[in-house]
Amino acid sequence: MSPKMSLPPLLLLLLSPLLTLEPAGATLIRIPLRRVYTGLRTLNPLRGWEKPAEPPSLGAPSPGDKAFFVPLSNYMNAQYYGQIGLGTPPQNFSVVFDTGSSNLWVPSVRCHFFSLPCWFHHRFNSKASSSFRPNGTKFAIQYGTGRLDGILSEDKLTIGGLRGASVIFGEALWEPSLVFTFAHFDGVLGLGFPVLAVGGVRPPLDILVDQGLLDKPVFSFYLNRDPEAADGGELVLGGSDPAHYIPPLTFVLVTIPAYWQIHMESVKVGTGLTLCAQGCAAILDTGTSLITGPTEEIRALNKAIGGVPLLMGEYLIQCSKIPTLPQVSFRLGGVWFNLTAQDYVIQIARGGVRLCLSGFQALDMPPPAGPLWILGDVFLGSYVAVFDRGDGKSRARVGLARARVRGVEP
């Protein structure tokens, strides 16, 4: 969902392992998440990956320590989404909270008759909202399998108990991609940097800070990977909840403030295989289900863990081999972040049949954006990520710490 980008990557990365706790009086906006399995697909690789045409800004400083919480949904460890409201009274929509894009859009009641996704999802009705303001500017977001077209509109956003923020969002009139037809979410709420926003629209997070509803442009994701659990985790706006992770947080600077892109120092598979040996770019992306990387490296990785190639760059794993599979480790900020086979193998049980899929998918991003790795939900389910946009005095950064198992007290 990105505009064209032309910035060269910054290779300098300052690393500082820090322990940060929210002040005792901080208020966190909590948004529950739900989880949905989408089959052998990921959301983000459908969008066009290019680099921004102008230097991105980090936004204005935001004082104070207030923070706020949105429950996330997760189904079969594949796709996480939560609820927002648009309009007065609020019309509810399930949206993917996506760190790989920066626009908010939902289907419109005015969508094209032959746009199938509209008939399977909630649709925004401007006539049912007393706070609606027409904008009418056309917008389009390019995906690998087609375009998403519509018009921009303005109305009130309700999210995690916060009300009254006036946001410009997209009303989708034409959704040609079948991935949206059977998706369990209605739309997407982007949490990337402003430079990614199609049409130069101010992203929702920035609006919440601009209008004084959120004190800090900081948010964090806790993704519950237990497929038996009722809840899928939590999106926390305004900060992080130390109950979600095992301290300390390791902070890594954002190298290009567009996607949440960082420098990855190395990837190791067991003791015998090293990938990304000279360092490489990586993106932390909640809208991508798996961990993706360049085809040749992912092929070598999956060979080392006994993966059998399937379609679309995915691999099948023999379920009985899970206890014997090697650890896969990512070096970020001078610290190794380890994934066991229980972390990186997706186990699907349907009708008494168990299927095991590798969490590593081949996906080549062409220059200038690529080559790069995407650390999607397979990684972010094991490690809580705190996304800090920074301010005029400090650079954007991401804090990472091992997720605490639900039900285990700190």
C-alpha dihedral (163, 166, 170, 172), degrees to nearest 10: 50
Handedness of CA 363, 367, 371, 376 (dihedral sign): negative
Handedness of CA 293, 298, 301, 305 (dihedral sign): positive
Q: Of residues 186, 285, 377, 388, which has the active-site annotation? A: 285
**Do residues 47 and 1 touch, judged by C-beta distance below 8 A?**
yes
Dist CA 72 CA 15 (whole Å): 30
Phi first, then psi, for residue 32 (nearest 5°) are: -65, 145
Q: Specify the amino acid at residue 353.
A: V
65 is catalytic: no
**Do residues 338 and 326 touch, judged by C-beta distance below 8 A?**
no
Q: Specify the amino acid at residue 153.
A: S
- CA distances, 89 to each of 59, 92, 111, 212 (Å): 30, 10, 21, 21
> Edge to edge, what strands does the sheet with 291-293 contain?
256-257, 260-264, 280-284, 372-375, 291-293, 360-362
DSSP 124: B
98 is catalytic: yes
* Catalytic machinery residues: 98, 285
